[in-house]
Amino acid sequence: MPSQQLENQRYRRRPNLAAVMILIIIPATILMGVFLLDDRKYYFISLLIILYTMLPFAMVFENRKPQARELIVIGVLVAIAVAGRGAFFMLPQFKPVVAIVIISGVTLGAEAGFLVGAMTGFVSNFFFGQGPWTPWQMFCFGIIGFVAGLLFKKGLLRKTKFSLCLFGGLSTLIIYGGIINLGSVLMFTSEFSWEALLATYISGFWFDIVHAIATVTFLFMISKPMIEKIDRVKMKYGLIEF
């Protein structure tokens, strides 16, 4: 009984720590890079985001060593998302990354969803170009995976195509578009103004629409087979939900 109570306390503590890291500490770190480091230390900020993400994720294994097969699943999903982003490099904004991140959050948990999103943004930008936009993209991809995992756990998001496509389209348009456009203003204007922010949202609206359509399209095509395969791997090898 005491061991079960201790396990329950850890189970409750991990999502709380993840929420604090993702919703408070990571945004504060990004803003620190913008205002205190003049957006010139984006590698440092990106690595901090990865470190913050790993802390709640590591709590899953606090009583034992992680097995290779548990980490390989995360690595494979990151590799698929990076390869998918690269495969569609010729089509601006039409990328499968958000779809794969959502699938990761739904199948493996909120923390794993954020980790897949953040790592995808960081690794893929070695091909697309690193810059002050990298921490913002890492956060945008990651937060969608985190929210997807939380909503699925609460029963508000299901593994049906309709539910996933609806969430994917709205989250890409509102969450990713809303945050990345704010980041663009802070990155590329010397002085913040509401007029500049409004102009950025207006000019980026059609790019966000294309991005949202891409997410819906890829979720419609790949969500069912990918979720079935990941669930089968989890059952076959007894993988825990991260």
CATH of the domain at 134: 1.10.1760.20
Answer yes or no: is 36 within a domain. no
User: Structure pTM?
Assistant: 0.88
Answer yes or no: is 21 within a domain. no
Query: Half-sphere exposure (CA, 13 Å, Cβ side) for 111?
Result: 24
Looking at the structure of the chain, the number of domains it has is: 1
| H or E segment and range at residue 111 | helix 110-128
Token pair, residue 211, equals 């991005």
Type of residue found at 224 = K
pLDDT by residue for the chain (242 residues), tens digit each? 444 444 455 555 666 777 788 888 989 998 888 888 877 788 889 988 988 887 776 666 555 566 677 788 999 999 999 999 999 989 889 999 999 999 999 999 888 899 999 999 999 999 998 988 999 999 999 999 999 999 999 999 999 999 999 999 999 999 999 999 999 888 877 677 888 889 999 999 999 999 999 999 999 999 999 999 999 988 887 776 65
Sign (positive/negative) of CA torsion 213, 140, 11, 65? positive
Answer yes or no: is 5 within a domain. no
Token pair, residue 7, equals 């396990």
Calculate the dihedral angle through the C-alpha atoms of 27, 30, 36, 38, rounding to the nearest 10 degrees.
-150
